[in-house]
Structure 1
C-alpha cells in the first residue's frame, strides 16, 4: 500500500468531497472566545466557501475522512468498484488539520463526510471522535457539520448532534425507486427513520424540564440533505414534491440540489452527460419560492414536470396565470403581492408598511427597491397601468436568447 503524506491525503480527500453540495454553515450558535482560551473566531479566506442568509461568506475545511467505501452506489465516484485513487485520514490527522488551519486563519469550521469503512458504526464512531476531540481537548469553538450515516446506531447519531452544529443525511435521489435502482445497498426507509430521529432529538433539546432546565444542545443549526439531479429519470416535479415532504416531515433547514456529473467507469444505468446547470439553478429558485413565498410544489412544476429553463419559476407561474394579474399594489394582500415578479420578501414588507401612511405610486416602488422591469406588466397603481400583453409577448420579453442563457 502506498504511504501518503498529509498533503497527499488532503489533495485526494478534499477533491473527493466536492460532490457534496450540502455544506452551508448558516444557523450555528455563536461561541464566545473572549476568554482567550478558545479557537474559532477567525474571519479570513478559506478552502471551501459557503454563504449565510445575510450574504456573509464562511470558509470551511471540507473533506472526506476517507474515500474507501464498502458500498457500490452507481452514481458515486468513490463506490467500491471505482478505480479512483484512495486515501484515509486518521482521527488525529483530521483534528490536527482543522486546528492548524484555524490557527492560520484559513477557515471558520469543518465539514466532514466519509465513505463507509468496515461498517457504518465504525465509520460514524470515528467521525464522532473527531468532533468530540475538537470540542473537548482542543476547545474548538468553530462550526462543525457532520455528514451522518443513516445505518449507524442511534446512540452514535445522538452523540454526533451533541458536538456538531449541523447534521446532514443525504437522501441521494428524489424517489425510492431511484435509490433502489442505483444504490440497492441503501434503504430509503432507513434514511427517513434516521432523519426523524434527528428531528425528534432536536425538538427534545428545545423543551424545558419542570424545573425550567433545557436538555443538552443538539445540532442547533438543524439538519440538511442533498438530492442528485439528472442521474435518474425523476422530473423536477418529483424533486420538488420530495423536497416539500422533507421540509414538512423532518423540519429540514435546507435541501440541496446537485447536478449529476459523469464519473469514470460509470454504470450503464447512468446518463452519458450531465444535465444543464440551469436546471439545478431553477430548482434552487423553486425551493426558495416554497420556503419563503408561499408556493406549493404542485403549483411550481408545470404539467410536463420540468421547470422552464428560459424564465425563472416565479415568472413562469405568472405567465401561466395571467388571470391573476394585474395586482392592485395598494389593496392586494401579502400572499398575492409575493407572487408578483420583481417583488421580493423584503420589498413586499416595505410595501405593506408604506401603505399604512398613504397611497403608493410607481415612484414609491422604485424607491422601495422593487425590480420594476419584471413587475410592470403585472401591477396597477396610480401613475401606472399594465399594458394588456398576452403570455407569449411577455415570455419573448423576459426569456433571454439561448446563447445568453446563464446562471448569472
Structure 2
C-alpha cells in the first residue's frame, strides 16, 4: 500500500470510530461460487483490523470526513479543525478486496460525510457496493450508511447491493436536532427509514434481494438533556413503526474545540450499558416501553442495578414465581434468568419438578434469581420483601453483565 493511501486509511478509519451502528447480525448465509469472492455466516464475521491494531468485524471507514453539515456533536462537522481526507470509489473497492484476500476482513462498513450534495454522496456510496458485487463478485457483508436527505431512488438502489442499510436518527427529539444539528430534519430521517422498511417488506414478499439484514440506527446519548425513558420510548416506537433490527446507543464524546452548548464531560459508560439492557428487555423479554419506563427513577435508569432488577424490585407483589408452574412471561421477568435459561426451564419441567440445584445448572446468575423464584425444594420466605434486598443484589462496580 502506498503511503498516500495508507495516510487516508489512518484518517478515515479513525474518523469512523464514532459510528456504532455496525453489525453483521441478520445477514443471509452466503458462500462464494466460481469467480466470486467472500462469504457471510450466521454467526457473524470477524478478523478485521483498524490501523491501530484493534480487531473488529468489518473494514469500517468513511468515504470522506469532509462534510457540508455543521452538527455540533460531530468531530467531522464543517467547522471542525481536523485533518481531512477522501477516498475515491476505486480506492475503497481495492482496499476491501485486497484486505479480504489477506484474510483481514470479511465485510465492509462504509459511511461518509456529506460532500457536494446528499445525492452525490449517496451515489458514491452505492457505486462502491455495486462495484464490489458486480465487478469483483464480492459475496461478503456490506453495510452502507444511508443519507436520509438523498433521493429515494438512490437509497433504493443502495439496498440492492448492501446487506444492511442504516440511517441515523442522531438525536431522539426534534428540539435537540434543531439545537445541535439544525441542517437535519427529523421528519426527513423518519420518512427515509419508513421507505427502507417498505422496500424490505416488499422484497421479502416478492422473494427478491433488498437489504436482507434489515436496517439499523444510532442515537447519541448524553449530548442533550433527553432522559433514558425518552430514549427507550423512541427506540420502541422505531422498532414498531419501521421494523428496525437494532438501535445503537453511542455515548457522547466531547470533541476538541466543541460548541459551548455541548456538555463538558461524557456521560458514564454505564448509562450506555443500561440503555442496551433496557433495549434488550423490549426486544427479547416481552417488556413494553411502559414496563421499561417503570424501571426508571425520574426518567433515568439506575447505574448500580440493571433495569430488569429495578423493575422487579418495584413490582415485588408479582413475585416469587414458581419455576415449575409459572408462565414464560413472568419467568422472563425474574432477575438472573435469561431467555435461553427460561426456555430450558420450560423444557425441563415437562419431565420433572425442578429443584434449586436444577435451576442453578440452567442459569449462571442464581444469586439474583433466588429472592424472586420458587422451586420444588425452595421458597424465598420473606426474602423478596426485605428492605435491604436492593443493596444485597447490587452489581460490583466493574461488572457489566447482561442481566
Which range, TM-score by smaller chain?
over 0.9
Which position in structure 1 is the counterpart of 2:47?
A: 45
5 Å-filtered alignment, 1:169-208, equals: 169-208=167-206
Deviation at 1:400, TM superposition (A): 4.1
Superimposed CA distance per residue, residues 305-363 of structure 1 (whole angstroms, 9 cap, x where no aligned partner): 00010011111111111111111111111100100011111111111112222322112
Deviation at 1:158, TM superposition (A): 0.5
Correspondence for 1:147 among 137, 142, 145: 145
Superimposed CA distance per residue, residues 187-246 of structure 1 (whole angstroms, 9 cap, x where no aligned partner): 0000000000000000110113xxxxx3x3000000000000000000000100000000
Query: Which TM-score applies when normalising by structure 2?
Result: 0.93
> What SS does the corresponding residue of 1:195 show, helix, strand or coil?
helix
Correspondence for 1:360 among 343, 351, 354: 354
Which position in structure 2 is the counterpart of 1:54?
A: none
Change (3 A) 1:263 1:392: farther
Deviation at 1:88, TM superposition (A): 0.3
Which position in structure 2 is the counterpart of 1:383?
A: 377
Correspondence for 2:339 among 329, 334, 345: 345
Distance in 1, matches of 2:68 and 2:56, equals 33
- Once the two structures are overlaid, the 10-residue window that deviates more, 116-125 or 354-363, is 354-363
5 Å-filtered alignment, 1:269-284, equals: 269-284=261-276
Figure out how many residues of one structure are paired with residues of the other and give that number.
389
Distance in 1, matches of 2:285 and 2:46, equals 34
Superimposed CA distance per residue, residues 48-68 of structure 1 (whole angstroms, 9 cap, x where no aligned partner): 6xxxxxxxx972100000000
Correspondence for 1:86 among 84, 87, 93: 84
Distance in 2, matches of 1:39 and 1:339, equals 45
Q: Is the 8 A contact 1:58 1:108 kept in 2?
A: no
Name the Cα RMSD after superposition. Answer: 1.7
5 Å-filtered alignment, 1:245-394, equals: 245-301=237-293, 302-369=296-363, 371-389=365-383, 390=385, 392-394=387-389
Where structure 1 has 5 or more consecutive residues not aligned to the other structure, the ranges are 49-56, 209-213
Where structure 2 has 5 or more consecutive residues not aligned to the other structure, the ranges are none
Q: Is the 8 A contact 2:39 2:141 kept in 1?
A: no
Distance in 2, matches of 1:391 and 1:89, equals 61
> What SS does the corresponding residue of 1:62 show, helix, strand or coil?
strand
> What SS does the corresponding residue of 2:58 show, helix, strand or coil?
strand
Which position in structure 2 is the counterpart of 1:156?
A: 154
Distance in 2, matches of 1:300 and 1:198, equals 28
Change (3 A) 1:230 1:205: same
Deviation at 1:97, TM superposition (A): 0.5
Q: Is the 8 A contact 1:46 1:59 kept in 2?
A: yes
